[in-house]
């Protein structure tokens, strides 16, 4: 790999996985965790846009693919009970806990433990508030994702409050 002075996107993507303990289950989870880092000032300068499943970064998706090419991480594809498949990302090693920014570490830990649907809804609401300036992001999230919201919105709100309680350089917007 060519040696550049600054970290490549692939290295930044691998860092997210390393800082999260070396293992992240699910592409959606990885995308939403990266978005929460970005919006709170703890990210790696990946740009996100609204897609079918909420905030999504094509740059990050490409960076993850590059990180695999260069053996910084591995992606294992597993079959989910519902019939689709999901990915498990593993970095060779995790970053020593003491070296990870404490707020970044807390956010990543919450993301790792969260239900991915709740995480998607929470990240979507944050995006709608921060970027689209929607007055009632939860209502709008429910409108856009009625099936997911019907079962998971209440828990997504609880998760969001936990995420918001982390002392980050930029606070998550109050919703």
Partner 1 sequence: MCRTICYNPTKHKQSRPPLSVSSGESSWKVSVDKMSYKRQRIRDPLYNLIEFPADEFHDAMWQVIQSPQFQRLRRIKQLGFSELVYPGATHTRFAHSLGVFHTARKLMTIVKEHLDKSDYQETKAQRALAAALVHDLGHGPYSHAFEDVGKRLRIVMADHEKVTDLLIRQGDISNALNKLGGGFASDVADVIKKSCPASIYGAVVSSQFDADRLDYMQRDRLMTGTHHGAIDFDWLLSNLEVGTVPHGVDRERVGEIETFVLGPKAIYAAETYLMGLYQLYATVYLHKATRGAEKLFTELLVKVIELAGNDSVQKTGLSQNHPLIHFAKNPVDLECTLALDDSVISGALSMMTEAEDPLISDFSKRLRNRKLFKCIDVREDIAKGIRLRLSKKSIDSKIAKTHDPSVGGANQANPDRKEKRRIDALDRACNAAEKSLIAFAEENRETIPKVLIDSPGRSIYRDFEESKGPLNQIMIRPGLGDKPIDVASISQVIKAIAPFKAFRVYMKDGDEKTKTTINQIIEKEVKRCRC
Enter the tokens of residue 12: 């930044």
Burial (Cβ within 10 Å: 0-12, 13-18, ≥19) of residue 153: buried
Q: Where are the beta strands (DSSP E) in the chain?
A: 23-25, 49-51, 54-56, 73-79, 85-91
CA-wise closest residue to 27 among 127, 50, 35:
35
Q: Is 136 in the site for partner 1 (CB under 8 A)?
A: no
Residue 84 Cβ, how far from partner 1 at the closest point, in Å?
3
Name the residue with tokens 């991480």.
73
- Residue 173 gets which letter from DSSP? P
Q: Is 111 in the site for partner 1 (CB under 8 A)?
A: no
Q: Is 105 in the site for partner 1 (CB under 8 A)?
A: no
* Separation CA 118–CA 161 (nearest Å): 12
- Residue 171 gets which letter from DSSP? P
Interaxial angle between packed helices 58-69 and 9-19, expressed in degrees from 0 to 180 and rounded to the nearest 10: 90
Residue 67 Cβ, how far from partner 1 at the closest point, in Å?
11
Q: Which residues pair with residue 128 across a beta bridge?
A: none
Q: Is 86 in the site for partner 1 (CB under 8 A)?
A: yes
Residue 128 Cβ, how far from partner 1 at the closest point, in Å?
11
Residue 52 Cβ, how far from partner 1 at the closest point, in Å?
5
Q: Is 158 in the site for partner 1 (CB under 8 A)?
A: no
Residue 54 Cβ, how far from partner 1 at the closest point, in Å?
7
Among 96, 98, 147, 167, binds partner 1 (CB under 8 A): 147
Residue among 59 and 109 whose Cβ is closer to partner 1: 59
Interface residues with partner 1 (CB under 8 A)? Answer: 1-2, 4, 8, 25-29, 31, 47, 49, 52-54, 56, 66, 69-70, 77-78, 80-87, 115-117, 120, 143-148, 151
């Amino acid at each position: 790999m060519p040696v550049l002075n600054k970290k490549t996107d692939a290295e930044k993507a691998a860092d997210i996985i390393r800082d999260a303990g070396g293992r992240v289950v699910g592409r959606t989870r990885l995308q939403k965790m990266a978005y929460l880092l970005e919006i709170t000032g703890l990210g790696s300068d990946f740009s996100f846009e609204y897609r079918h499943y909420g905030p999504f970064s094509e740059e990050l998706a490409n960076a993850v693919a590059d990180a695999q090419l260069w053996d910084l991480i591995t992606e294992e594809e597993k079959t989910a009970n519902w019939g689709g498949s999901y990915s498990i990302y593993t970095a060779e090693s995790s970053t020593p806990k003491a070296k990870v920014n404490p707020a970044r570490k807390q956010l990543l830990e919450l993301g790792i433990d969260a239900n991915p649907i709740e995480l998607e809804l929470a990240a979507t609401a944050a995006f709608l508030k921060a970027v689209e300036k929607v007055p009632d992001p939860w209502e709008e999230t429910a409108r856009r994702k009625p099936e997911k919201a019907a079962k998971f919105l209440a828990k997504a709100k609880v998760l969001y409050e936990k995420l918001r309680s982390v002392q980050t350089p930029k606070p998550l917007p109050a919703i």
